[in-house]
Structure 1
C-alpha cells in the first residue's frame, strides 16, 4: 500500500497537457486500487497519469529536454543561462554526472512504467459504467505502448538502463531491486516485439475527437521504425569505442560487431509503417496555389501548424504543448516577445538555393555579400513578407535584403527570421542592430542575428495574449519517408523507391528533384545518395527534435558540435557587411565555442543513482 500511495501521489502532482477532455486529469490521492479501478473516471485518470510522460516537442525539446539546442539547429540566448537554461552549459561541455537535467528520464519514466504495469494488472470491464471488454483491451494496449515508448526514450538518452518487466514488489530481494543495466540490443529487441504485438491490438485511428492523441497502431509502428533506424546506425552497430564496456555481470552492453541485418530490419519497419499509414489515410500535407500548383511556403508552414483533423501527415502528436513560451521566446523583443530563441548559422547555411543546390555547390548561384536591389516574388499565397498587401502578392524578400538570404528555398523563409525581414504582425522590418528595438545588447535579443521562425505561429501576440492552437508533432509521415530512404540506401542502393520518396519531400518543398531527367539534379552512387538524404533531413526536419539524434547515431558529433559557432555580429550597429568594420552587422562572427567529445553521445547516469545502486556502471568515458 505504501508503494501505491507513492505512485498516486506522484501522478497527482502532474496535470497532463494533452487532450482537453481526457488527458488533463489526475486521480485523487491515497485511493485503494479497488476504488480506482471500480470507477471509470478514476481509471481513466490513472491512464492519463501514465500518458503524462510523453515529451513536449515545443518547450520540452527547446528548454527542458533540450534536444534542439544540443544539436546544431537551435541557439537560445546564452544570457538565459542565468535564468535556468542549463542546456547552455551542456552546449559548452560544462556538465558532469552530478549536473541536473530537468526531465531526469532515469527516475521519472520508470515511475510511469510502473504505473502502467499496475494499470494493466487491474483495469477491468465495468458494465454499470459502460466500460466494455473492447475498451479495456484498448486501454491495456495503450499502457503497453507507453511502457515500450518510455523504454525507448530512456535508451535513446542513456543507451543502456536497468530493464524490468512487470512490477517489482517492495519486498523483493536486493538483487531484484538493485539491477544493473541491460544490454542495448536486448532492450531494443523487446521493444520491437512489443510494439509489433500492440500494433495488432490498437486501431489505426479513433473516430471520437476526444481520443485524439491516444495510442494507435500507427504510433506503435512509427516509434518502432525510428528506433530500429537508430539501432542500425554507426553509434550502436559495431561501434568499437564501446568494446569492453560491460555491466555488473560482465555482459557487453553494446554490440561491437557490425550487423548489416539491422539495416534490413530498419528498412522493413519503415516500409511497414509507410504502408500502414497510407492505408489509414495518412498523406503529406499540401496547400495549393490558384493555378493548381503546390504552394511550398504554405505547405511547409502549415504542415506544422494545422490540427490533426485536417493534417493527415501527423502520425503521433501530443495534443497539448507549451507553445506559448516557445512562441514568446522566438518573437522579437520589440514586438512583446523575449526575442532570443534563435537558430544557428550552420542551419542557415544548410538550406538549399531556389534551384535545389546547396550553397557550397559552384552552380548554386549563391551570393553572400551585398544587398538586393529589388524585392523577390514567388508563386505563393504566403503573406508574411507583405504578401497581404495589394500589388505585393507572392513577395518573399524585400529590397535591401542581405544577399545571403535571397533566392533561397521556401523552407528557409518559413524557418529563419533574419535582420530586416518583414514582420507582418507589427507592419515593419525586424530591427536586430545593437541598440534597436529588437537587438542587443540585452540577453533578450538574437545572440547571432537570427530568430527561430519554424513552428512559431505568425499570429501569436504576446502583448494581447493571442496564442493559436497547434498540436505538438512528435512523428510525421515526412520523417517516415526520409527514414525509409536512408535505410533502403544502406540495404539496396539504387532502388528506385529511394529517389521516389526523397523527391516527394523536395517536390513539396518547391525545389528540383533528383534524377537524370530534364530539370533534375543527378546523383551518383550510394555515398552521394547518403549525403543527399542527410542534407534533406537537416533541412526538412529542422527544429523538430530529430537532429540531435541524427548527429549522435551517425557519429558526427565531434566534427559537427566541437567547434566555434557563428552568426551575424550581435554588437553590430550598422547595416554593413564590411569585415573590417567592427560595427558591421552582416559579417560572420563567433558567438559561442561549443564542446563535444565521445562521452557526450549519451547522457551520463545520474551520480545520485549510482550512489544508491552499486550495480550500476557509469556511461562510457564519463568517469575519465
Structure 2
C-alpha cells in the first residue's frame, strides 16, 4: 500500500494554513502522486486531511436547497423549479423516486471521504525534520477518526440502511467483499457511539490557534454523538411498529431496524447529553448573549448575532462549525427584489404561526380541517386589523424602524400600521421573518410585497424573484448585507450550538425520567431566558418577567419542548427536517401550506376582498408520505450492487 499510485483530486479548503497544491502538482506527471510522496511531505499530508474535511456539508445554500427545504420552514419560489439546483421543489410536490437525482449526493461522496480517511490512518507518520511530531500525528489521526464517524453518521441518519466498514477495504479483494450489503441500524449506532466517545478523549475541547478553527474537537465529537443518540432513541427507530419496517431485512436476512421499543435508548441519550454539557460548559462554552445598558439581556441582538459572530469573537455557543461556507447565494435569494436581491426565498405561514407571543404563550395551537388557525385567546394574538401604536422594546436592534438607533435605550421593532399578526410577537420572530411593511434598513424603506409592488411580483418580466408566501427569510441573512454594492459580510457555518444541546437534554430526560421536572425546565428556561420570553414556573424569572405555568405532565412537557425547538432552530441546518422524521410526524409535511395573499394589492385583511393582501392563502400543496422518512438509494447503486436492499416504501 505504501507505493500505491493515487490520483490526488481532493479539494483544498481553508481549514488549515497550508500551501497551494500547485507547487507540487506542477512537478508530478498528470497530477499522479504516490502515497509515499504525499505522506513524506508535511504540506501534502495536511492537504490530504483538509480534503477529507472538505466533505462536511455547507449549512448554507447547498444544504438548504438539498435538505433543509424539505421541512416546513423554508418556502422557495416555485418558479425556481426551472433551475436544476432547486429540484427540492419537485420532491416536495411528490416527484421523488429512486431514479431521481439528489444533489446532496451523500451516498456517492461520503464513502470516498471515508476511504481517504482510512488511507490517512494507515499512512500518516511523524516527520520531525518537517516539524511534524508524534503528538501531531496522534491528533490528526483522532481528527480522521472523527471524520469517518461523522460521515457514517450522516449516511445512516439520511438513509437508515447503509453498507458499513470499520477499516480500509482492499480493492484487490473478491467482489463480494467489496460490494457488501447493509448493516443493521443499531449495530452502526453502537459502533459510532463508542467511536465518538473514544475520539472525544483524544481531541482538545478547542484550539488556541485561529488557523485551526473548524478542526475536530472533543466538543464536536460529543455534540454529534448526543444528536445521533437522540435520533436513535426516537419513535422512528425505537419501537417503530410499522410492518414494513419489521419485514425489512438485508441480504443476509438480518432485520435492519429493531421494532422493539427500548427505553434504555433514552437513558443512553440522556447520558450522552450530560457528557456533552460537562465537556462544553467545563471548557467555557456558553449561550451567546448581548446586553442592554442596564445589564439586562438584549434578546434581539443576542439571537441575531448568535448567527454571525465567530468563536474568537466571543460566540462560545458554537460547538461545531464549518468556517468556509457559501452564504452569498443564501443572502441574495432572501434580499427583496427592489433591493437587487433575488427575493424569492421565503418562509411558510406555518412558521410564522409557530412563534410565541411576547408573553411567552403560543399564538396558534392548531388548525381546523379547513386550514383556519385555532387561536390561543389567552396569548392576546390577533390577526385582524393594524396597530395604532409602534411596538417598542428595550433593545439595541436597529432593524425595526427608521428612527431606531443603537444608542437608544428602547427601539421600535414594528411601526404603527403593522398588521396585528406581527405585533407583540417574541424577539425571535422579528429576527427570523421579513414581512410586508417591515423596515428594511439597507434600503432605508419599508418592504413592499404587494402584487406589482417594488418587491412583489411584477406585472411583466420574471416571476421567479418575488415572495411566494408573502414573507422573505431574515434569519442568518446578515443585517449589513447590501446587494447594491455586493457587500455580504462573513459568518460561520454553524452545524451544532449549545442551545440544541440544552433542548436535546431536556427532551431525552423528559422521555427517560419525566419526574425530574426541575432539571428539564432548567434547560428549557435557559433557552427562553436568552430569547427574552417568560420562563416556566412561578414568580418572577431571571429577566424580571412573570413566569408562565409549567407544563402539567410528560405529554405537555414533550409538546412544550417540541414547540421550543421549532422556534429556536427555525431555518437552521437540518434540525427541523430531522425532528419531523424522528418523531414520525411526516404528516406535517403533507397537504396545504399557506402564506399571505401574494396577489393582493391592498393593505387590507378583509377575507371577502380578493385584493386584500393580509389574508391566508394556500401557496403550495406538499405531497410527502411515509416513504420520506428516509432518502432512497438511487437505482443505479442498486444496479451496481445486488447486495443492497431499497428502503421501506420506496
Q: Deviations over 1:1-38 (max 9, x none)?
A: 899656523x1xx343x436359879843110000000
| Aligned mate of 2:548, from 507, 515, 521 | 521
1:48 equivalent among 47, 50, 59: 50
Across the two proteins, how many residue pairs are aligned to each other? 615
Q: Determine whether 1:497 maps to 2:519.
A: yes
State the Cα distance separating 1:223 from its structure 2 match: 0.5
Does the alignment pair 1:265 with 2:272?
A: no
Q: Deviations over 1:404-460 (max 9, x none)?
A: 000000000000000000000100000101101110152101101000001110111
Give the corresponding residue for 2:361.
357
Larger displacement relative to structure 2 (424-433 or 388-397): 388-397
Q: 2:484 aligns to what SS in structure 1?
A: coil
Is 1:279 the equivalent of 2:273? no
Q: Deviations over 1:117-146 (max 9, x none)?
A: 000100000011100100000000000000
How far has the Cα of 1:498 moved from its partner? 0.5
Structure 2 contact 2–35 (Cα < 8 Å) conserved = no
2:322 maps to which of 318, 322, 330: 318
Counterparts in 2 of 1:105 and 1:35: CA distance versus 1, 3 Å: same
The separation in 1 between residues aligned to 2:623 and 2:72, in whole angstroms, is: 12
1:330 counterpart = 2:334: yes
Unmatched tracts of structure 2, length 5 or more: 26-30, 365-375, 541-545
Other-structure match for 1:449: 470
Measured in 2, the distance between the counterparts of 1:107 and 1:373 equals: 57
* Alpha-carbon spacing, 1:283–1:445, altered in 2? closer, same or farther (3 Å): same
* Deviation (angstroms), 1:555: 0.3
What is the aligned partner in structure 2 of residue 405 from structure 1? 422
> Matched residues in 2 for 1:488 and 1:5: separation?
51
* Equivalence map 1:326-405=2 (5 Å): 326-360=330-364, 361-386=376-401, 387-388=404-405, 393-405=410-422
Query: Retained in 1: the 8 A contact 2:18–2:43?
Result: no
Aligned counterpart, 2:626:
598
1:584 aligns with 2:609: no
What is aligned with 1:308?
Answer: 311
Residue aligning to 1:294: 297
* Counterparts in 2 of 1:426 and 1:566: CA distance versus 1, 3 Å: same
1:479 to 481, 487, 500: 500
- Cα pair 1:7 1:115 within 8 Å, conserved: no
Q: CA deviation at 1:61?
A: 2.6
- Residues 164 and 188 in structure 2, CA contact (< 8 A), matched pair in contact too: yes
Contact 1:351-1:408 within 8 A present in 2 as well: yes
State how far apart, in whole Å, the 1-side matches of 2:467 and 2:555 are. Answer: 37
Once the two structures are superposed, residues 526-546 of structure 1 have per-residue CA deviations (whole angstroms, 9 ceiling, x without a partner) of 111110000000000111120
Residue 430 (1) aligns with residue 430 (2): no
Aligned-residue offset at 1:390: 8.6
Q: Give 1:582 deviation, angstroms.
A: 1.4
CA distance in 1, matches of 2:478, 2:266: 38
Q: Which residue of 1 aligns with 2:100?
A: 99
The question of whether the paired residues in 1 share the 8 Å contact of 2:334 and 2:345 is answered with yes
1:106/1:154 contact within 8 Å kept: yes
The residue aligned with 2:72 is 72
1:6-405 aligned at under 5 Å gives the runs 8-9=8-9, 11=10, 14-16=11-13, 18-19=14-15, 21-22=17-18, 28=25, 29-63=31-65, 65-66=66-67, 68-84=68-84, 85-241=86-242, 242-309=245-312, 310-360=314-364, 361-386=376-401, 387-388=404-405, 393-405=410-422
CA deviation vs aligned residue, 1:260-313 (integer Å, no higher than 9, x gap): 000000000001101100111100000000011000000000011101111000
Residues 536/621 of structure 1: CA separation in 2 closer, same or farther (3 Å cut): same
Asked if the contact 2:16–2:46 (Cα under 8 Å) also holds between the matched residues in 1, the reply is no
Instruction: Tell me, yes or no, if structure 1 residue 570 matches structure 2 residue 598.
Output: yes
Contact in 2 for aligned 1:422/1:429 (Cα 8 Å): yes
Does the 8 Å CA contact 1:158/1:604 hold for their aligned counterparts? yes
- C-alpha separation between the residues in 2 aligned to 1:20 and 1:326? 25
Deviation, 1:60, is 2.7
For residues 623 and 614 of structure 2, the distance between their equivalents in structure 1, rounded to whole angstroms, comes to 26
SS at match of 1:513: coil
Over 3 Å counting, the alpha-carbon distance change for 1:327 and 1:25 in structure 2 is farther
Is residue 2–residue 36 contact of structure 2 (8 Å, CA) maintained in 1?
A: no
Number of the residue aligned with 1:616: 644
RMSD over equivalenced CA pairs, Å: 1.7
Q: Decide whether the 8 Å contact of 1:25 with 1:49 is kept in 2.
A: no
- 8 Å CA contact 1:22–1:48 kept in 2: the answer is no
TM-score (structure 1 length as normaliser): 0.96
How far the C-alpha of 1:320 sits from its partner, in A, is: 1.1
**Pair 1:23–1:358, CA change in 2 (3 A):** farther
Task: Note if contact 2:293-2:409 (Cα within 8 Å) is conserved in structure 1.
Answer: no
2:12/2:47 contact within 8 Å kept:
no
* Cα deviation, residue 389, structure 1: 8.6
User: Which one of 403, 410, 419 corresponds to residue 436 of structure 2?
Assistant: 419
Would the alpha carbon gap of residues 515 and 255 (structure 1) be closer, same or farther in structure 2, given more than 3 Å must change? same
Paired with 1:292 and 1:478, the residues of 2 have a C-alpha distance of 21
Q: Secondary structure at the match of 1:475?
A: strand
How far is 1:83 from its partner? 1.1
Contact 1:22 1:211 in 2 (8 A): no
Alpha-carbon distance in structure 1 between the residues aligned to 2:116 and 2:180: 19
Instruction: Report if aligned partners of 1:359, 1:366 keep a CA contact under 8 Å in 2.
Output: yes
**1:232–1:263: 8 Å Cα contact kept in structure 2?**
yes
Question: Structure 1 211/603 Cα, relative in aligned 2: closer, same or farther at 3 Å?
Answer: same
